[in-house]
Amino acid sequence: MLELFYSNRQETLSQALLEDVAAFALNDGNPFASQTIIVPSAAVRRRLELDMAARFGICANVDLCYLAQWLWAQIGGVLPVPEHSPFAPDRLVWRCFRLLGAMTEAAPEGSSRLRAYLDAADDSMRYELARRIATVFDHYLTYRPEWLQHWQAGGSILASASGALDANGPRLP
C-alpha cells in the first residue's frame, strides 16, 4: 500500500516511517517478510538505516531502493526486461566515459569549455564527469522523460513553439 506523509522535517517523516515499519512487522504475520522503502538519495538511505538500527537494534530485511530501481523492478514483473536497467547510473557511467573519450578527438562545436576540460583531464577526471552525467541522466529518466524524448528527436528543451531559443529556460509541463 502506498502512503504519503508530508513534513518539512526529516525527523518527523522518519518517525512516521518507523512506526509504520513496526506496525507492518506486527500486523503482517510474517516476521521474515521484507519491506520496500523508496528513498530519494544515498544520504536519506543512510539516515534511515541508522534510525532503524537505533530504534529496532538492527536494520535488516528492508529494501531501501531508489525510484528508478523500483520502477524497473515493477516493469520487470509485467514485461520481459533485463534484470538490470541499461540506464542505471553504474552501467551508464561507462558509456558516458567512452563517449567522453571519443570527444577528446572531435568535440562538437560550441563546447569549448568541455573541450578544454577534457584536454586537461586524466582518466579519473573523465570518469568523475561521466559518473555525474550518468547520475543526471538517471534523474532525467525518472523525473523528466519528456526531455529525453525531445532530445532524442533532435529538439531542444530551451526552444519555444516557434523554434527560437527561449531565454527563460526549459519548458516545464
Average predicted confidence (pLDDT) for the chain: 83
Measured between alpha carbons, how far is 158 from 140 in angstroms, rounded to an integer?
Answer: 15
Domain boundary among 52, 76, 100: 76
Cell of 33: 517478510
Residue 160 located in a structural domain: no
pLDDT band of residue 169 (cuts 50, 70, 90) is low
64 & 107 share domain: no
Reply yes or no on whether the pLDDT at 27 is more than 60. Answer: yes
What pLDDT score was predicted for residue 101? 86
CA–CA dist 18, 48 (Å, integer)? 9
Helices (H), 77-111: 89-103
> Are 72 and 93 in a shared domain?
no
Q: Are residues 68 and 95 in the same domain?
A: no
| Contact predicate 172/146, CB 8 Å | no
Residues spanned by the domain of 64: 10-76
Number of domains into which the chain is organized = 2
Which pTM does this prediction carry? Answer: 0.60
Segment 3-28 mean pLDDT: 85
Phi first, then psi, for residue 9 (nearest 5°) are -115, 125
pLDDT band at 114 (very low <50, low <70, confident <90, very high): confident
Rounded CA gap, 96 and 130, in Å? Answer: 5
Of 71 and 84, the structure prediction assigns the larger pLDDT to: 71
Cβ atoms of 130 and 103 closer than 8 Å: no
Residue 49: CATH number of its domain: 3.40.50.10930
